[in-house]
C-alpha cells in the first residue's frame, strides 16, 4: 500500500508553508495548510477539530488557543473515529506537535496575559 504518499505530501506542504523559501523561511503557523492536507483523508476527525477550534475561539477569543487545541484534537479524533488508520494518526500527531511548536510565541504571550483576542487589541 502507498497510503503514506498523500500524507507525506500534506506534511511537506505544511512545513513548506511555515518555512517558505519565498519569504526567507518565515511563514504562517501551518494550521490552514494542515487542515487542507487532511481534509480528504480524515474529514470527520477534521470536523471534530474544527468544532473544538470554533468552541474555544468563541469561548475565549484566543485564535491561537483554538488552533492548538483543534490541532491536538485531530489525532484523538482519528484514533477514535478511524481506528487502524495508522498513517493518518501518525501524521496527525506530527502535525499537532508541529503546530504547537509554531505557536510557541503565542504560548508565551498567553501565559503573560498579552495575547490578542479575536476582535480586540493586545494588552500591554
CA distance readout (Å), 113 to 9, 27, 38, 51, 117: 37, 24, 32, 25, 10
* CA 57/CA 36 separation, integer angstroms: 20
- pLDDT in single tens digits along all 124 residues of the chain: 688 899 899 999 999 999 888 887 777 899 999 999 999 899 999 999 999 999 999 999 999 999 999 999 999 999 999 999 999 999 999 999 999 999 999 999 999 999 999 876 555 5
- Cβ neighbours, 10 Å, residue 122: 10
pTM: 0.88
Amino acid at each position: 500500500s502507498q497510503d503514506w504518499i498523500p500524507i507525506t505530501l500534506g506534511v511537506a506542504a505544511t512545513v513548506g508553508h511555515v518555512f517558505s523559501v519565498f519569504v526567507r523561511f518565515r511563514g504562517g503557523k501551518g494550521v490552514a495548510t494542515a487542515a487542507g492536507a487532511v481534509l480528504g483523508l480524515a474529514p470527520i476527525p477534521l470536523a471534530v477539530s474544527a468544532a473544538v477550534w470554533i468552541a474555544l475561539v468563541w469561548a475565549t477569543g484566543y485564535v491561537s488557543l483554538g488552533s492548538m487545541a483543534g490541532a491536538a484534537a485531530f489525532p484523538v479524533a482519528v484514533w477514535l473515529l478511524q481506528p487502524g488508520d495508522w498513517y493518518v494518526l501518525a501524521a496527525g500527531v506530527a502535525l499537532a506537535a508541529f503546530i504547537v511548536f509554531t505557536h510557541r510565541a503565542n504560548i508565551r504571550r498567553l501565559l503573560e496575559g498579552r495575547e490578542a483576542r479575536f476582535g480586540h487589541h493586545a494588552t500591554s
